[in-house]
Amino acid sequence: MRIVLGVSAGIAAYKAVLLARLLTEDGHQVDIIPTPASLEFVGRATWEAISGRPVTTSVFEGVDEVRHVRLGQEADLIVVAPATADLLARIRAGMANDLLTSTLLASEAPKLLVPAMHTEMWRNPAAEENVSVLRERGIEVMEPASGRLTGKDSGPGRLPEPEQIKARIDQLLEPRRPAYADAPRAGTFYAPDHAGQPPLLGRKVVVTAGGTREPLDPVRYLGNRSSGKQGLALARAARAAGAEVTLIAGVMDQAPGPELRGVEVVPVETAAELQGAVRIETEKAHVLIMAAAVADFRPADYAAAKIKKTDDDAAPTITLVRNPDILAETVQRRAQTGTGPAVIVGFAAETGDENTEPLQLAQQKLARKGCDLLVLNRVGENLVFGQEDTEIHILASETAQSALDQDQPVHFAGGKQEAAGVVVRSATALLSSLPPST
């Protein structure tokens, strides 16, 4: 990947030398753009030696190749470390009075700014406002570390260690679709049915899995304990049945591994992202399996800067708003437009209460959501979340019951992978019972 590493005039510029080394050792092409004043701290020769690339600081050098435009256009990511208070102010104002600020202004590449300054400067309202405005514009500003600063003072304002910055860069450079999404399909995944054909061959199945995270501020979120295991098992089971599978992957305990070869993975984090991915991916899908634990609520407001403790011991009040019900919405869209998945499977995690049995609650949910099948998981302490084993009941809507000729919920207790197989078999049976046009 091509990374532009901007360096502004802070004593922490020496740490950027280590960062540049980590990046080049990883095989990235790193173009370093120091501000002219930063050369007082680390000289041009060091930067050229470490990056193996020519280094300039002004738009009047290398004019023939229009460097300030070219470097930014070719970059996959622009990182500025350290970013001084002065540089943040200049970026916020849209100034372009040296090669670094011109490159930042002329580029649409994602940008990561890593501030380093004295605590008083970091807390100065002018600097705070600059950081909030930059974040609102979609530029990522990392939180500085806390600790010993240049002089005898210490507090927030230290440049995070090069390894920490590198870890964030690695995350930002991760492809939206992991490489294994494009891997060749493995024929051995197919489990032929009695006619010798994988039962879902030529059918598209969309599985949602994992939990969602609803951000409160750049460092905090509301989340849930979904491990994503059941969803991964469902994607594997659908793949094994020969389907073309798209996994919309929320936050999971473990990343989808290479055993999901041939499965297209769409990573999402918030309920809104999941909603968008479901809309797009289900347009041409035959089956939707909504195993994701979607947050029902999200913070009404996102604070662009980290919410701070105040001196008066007061705690902030967080107002929540409802998230859309993605499952119900997909059912409604199908009813209104006649398009979308012919089979829609929902999940319900129920503990039951003193008055109502989990099965009864699931029955009510099936009716409320309008999906075709509803998989009931009994939850409680040490039940289901993150565990290998599960117990499920698969309830069918009235229409599905008659199509499947089934009047009782299907019950299964055992491993999550086998449970996934049972769910996929029920969905397949329902799909095959429908007229061929669907």
Which sequence positions are flagged as catalytic?
Answer: 224
Counting residues that bind ligand C5P (by CB under 6 A) gives 12
Q: Where are the beta strands (DSSP E) in 8-148?
A: 29-34, 77-83, 111-115, 140-141, 145-148
Q: Which of 347, 363, 377, 410 binds ligand C5P (CB under 6 A)?
A: 347
CB of 430 to ligand C5P, least distance (A): 16
Q: Residue for token digits 């400067």?
A: 121
Q: Which CB, 90 or 213, lies closer to ligand C5P?
A: 213
Q: Which CB, 84 or 224, lies closer to ligand C5P?
A: 224
- Choose the binding region for ligand C5P from 35-43, 145-153, 227-235, 323-331 (rule: CB under 6 A): 323-331
Q: Which of 217, 296, 391, 418 binds ligand C5P (CB under 6 A)?
A: 296
CA distance 115 to 130: 12
Q: Which CB, 104 or 290, lies closer to ligand C5P?
A: 290
User: Does 346 sit near ligand C5P (CB under 6 A)?
Assistant: yes
∠ Cα 300 324 376 (to 5°): 120
CA distance 224 to 221: 10
CB of 294 to ligand C5P, least distance (A): 4
Q: Which of 5, 141, 209, 290 binds ligand C5P (CB under 6 A)?
A: 290
Q: Which of 327, 366, 403, 429 binds ligand C5P (CB under 6 A)?
A: 327
Q: Which of 323, 363, 377, 426 binds ligand C5P (CB under 6 A)?
A: 323
In the structure encoding, which two tokens stand for residue 256, read together?
A: 């989808």
CB of 370 to ligand C5P, least distance (A): 11
CB of 343 to ligand C5P, least distance (A): 13
User: Does 325 sit near ligand C5P (CB under 6 A)?
Assistant: yes
3-state secondary structure of 159: coil
- Choose the binding region for ligand C5P from 76-84, 139-147, 307-315, 346-354 (rule: CB under 6 A): 346-354
Residue 219: Cβ within 10 Å count:
11
- Phi, psi for 52 (deg, rounded to 5): 65, 20
CA distance 86 to 122: 11
CA distance 302 to 196: 53
Q: Which CB, 158 or 365, lies closer to ligand C5P?
A: 365
User: Does 287 sit near ligand C5P (CB under 6 A)?
Assistant: no
CA atoms within 13 A on the CB side of 395: 22
Pick out residues in 168-197 that bind ligand C5P (CB under 6 A). none
Q: Which CB, 241 or 294, lies closer to ligand C5P?
A: 294
Q: Which CB, 265 or 292, lies closer to ligand C5P?
A: 292
H/E segment holding residue 230 = helix 229-240
**Overall residue count recorded for the chain in this entry:** 438
CA 41 → CA 35, 128, 161, 175, distances in Å? 11, 25, 18, 35
User: Does 292 sit near ligand C5P (CB under 6 A)?
Assistant: yes
CA distance 323 to 275: 10
In the structure encoding, which two tokens stand for residue 279, read together?
A: 């809309």
DSSP strand pairing (145-148 vs 244-249): unpaired
CA distance 352 to 376: 11
Pick out residues in 243-272 that bind ligand C5P (CB under 6 A). 271
CB of 356 to ligand C5P, least distance (A): 14
Residue ranges in 241-289 assigned as alpha helix (H): 271-281
Q: Which CB, 110 or 276, lies closer to ligand C5P?
A: 276
CA 81 to mean position of chain CA atoms: 24
Stretch 372-401: interaction string toward ligand C5P, x if CB under 6 A: ------------------------------
User: Does 348 sit near ligand C5P (CB under 6 A)?
Assistant: yes
Task: Catalog residues that contact ligand C5P under the rule CB under 6 A.
Answer: 271, 290, 292, 294, 296, 323, 325-327, 346-348
